[in-house]
Chains A and B, each alone.
Chain A
Amino acid sequence: MLEVCQLSVQYRGLLALENVSLRLGDGELVGLIGPNGAGKSTLLKALLGLIPIAAGRVLFRGRPLPRQRQQVAYMPQRSQIDWDYPITAGRVVMLGRTTAMGWFGKPTAQDQQRVQDALEQVGMWAYRHRPINELSGGQQQRIFLARALAQGADLIFLDEPFAGVDKPTEALLLQVFMTLKSLGKTLLVCSHEWGPVLTQYDRLLVLNRRVIADAPPHQAMTLENIQRAYGESLGAILADPHTPFLAC
């Protein structure tokens, strides 16, 4: 169980998050949506303690989360990675085992096995020797998901795993999420994907600096909530009966 109380984050005077409170139960798949600049990435980073928080608490199983980072797997937003870095897909996934191996540790047979399982689960085992810049965007996303899987964490934060991903890959990622859920893992997934895919989440957190809504998909994606998060103009487009309804 992850508990966040009254979390606020500031970037040099700019208030990026204000009094954000939320709870994630074990085995929950929660979607984090909101417009560009809403503070979604900021929230994930603040939960992990990667950026200083101005106020609030983040507790995982009753203890501060930043002190138990082995329990969290984090997949950064695409733009944070240098895709020309000289590294192969398999080695990226092995990075997920770094803390488990410990200082001076070498990959054991068990580490190798976990990496193989993770790569197979996302259908990328055949690509393990490819440099990452020779993979497509969707394949790159899968590799990063595999890294999170290989880590074996209980809490998984994914920043826009669906960015630039085609339908089959999206389906594959969702299938992996479901497997993880059934294993009791907690997933917090930041996303810009709208439409039917939103119904896959147990809960949606609509964010724009503050929590606008925190409810099951159908209750979260109301016209009013969308207007409050994305502004009146988008609300007006969605309200027009001639546009295909994007929300679920």
Chain B
Amino acid sequence: MNSSRLIYLDHAATTPLDPRVLEVMQPAFADTFGNPSSFHTVGLRAKELVAEARASVARLLHVREDEILFTSGGTEGDNMVVVGIPRAARVQIRQQCGEEAKPHVIASAIEHHAVLEPLLSLQKSGEIELTIVPVDREGLVDVEAIKKALQPNTVLVSLMLANNEIGTIQPVADVGRMLLAWRKERKTAFPYFHSDACQAAEFLDLNVEPLHVDALVINGSKMYGPKGVGVLFLRRGVKLEPLVRGGGQERGLRAGTEHVPGIIGLAKAFELAQAEREDECVRLTVLRDRLVDGLLQIPKSRLNGHPTLRLPNSANISFLDIEGEAAVLYLDAEGIMASTGSACASASLDPSHVILATGLSYEAAHGSLRFTLGHSTTQEDVDRVIEVMPGIVERLRRMSPTNLDMKYFL
């Protein structure tokens, strides 16, 4: 209300479309509108564009073109992997481990809902065995904990590259190496290793070789590309039962006419993000640290996540005695857009599973606010948040009947 400039600090939710991306997408809506499966000129042109996009994404991931599948986004990619791999492995596991054996999957406690929900559903229906490995106070997974959870029937391990809520960057390469050694020792192809890299695509090197992953998911909407389009890298030889069947597109693993403008846009966005990532990381780290330092001046506050192993754009802070949704609405009235892990703000009325998984109290999750910076963020924006936040916390605390002590942060 006081400042006319809108300050968007919710880039982990989604990013605006980069005008350079829009520019390359536009012709594909009306001019090159063809169906890549058709044999005429318009169809062929569309097919070429999709092929170019595939080649570009493959180059950036350092993989082969036929290992790139286009999907409708991060959620679909994650579902394809965590449902499709155990299903495809069913028979083999039975042959190797006995008639009663089911595929076993390991996932970290802070995986995205797009990974956890389908896994929980498969566990419930009796299709898989599931082990959820915990994280420490900083949100880090322990490689040893994953190693201990491995079983002869483990077909898949899922660990995100960086967490969307608290920004903690996971030791994916270490887990990848450990799994490689395990497989070699036992002369087996299992378990496959999957990583959701949606939040990381803009900031980390996504060369999949050193990560030793067999599947990796990214999407357009978190890196200034279009929504509704994503990429699944699936290593050659990995068997996956498709979720969407039909006309045999994407190697028969994901049917449906290609979203040509989206695919072109995603490839461009990924190219830009990777080209500009190092400079942007340096710029955002400075701004993020300024924001964190400023906000931690407020009494009874705490930084959630890891102090250094975190995405350069991510700040998640809990304030005791206030409820996050109310704070988000007060911030919004000041033109500042942030998000919260509060139970009140979630559709299920459950507090953030990520913050709870780090061992923090329910109360701390309740008062958590996430600010995620991006291209548009300036130092003025950060200073404006630092300026208005104490007043908002103060106002909400005056209305609050609780006066919790710091032990809720221990």
Pair from one complex: no
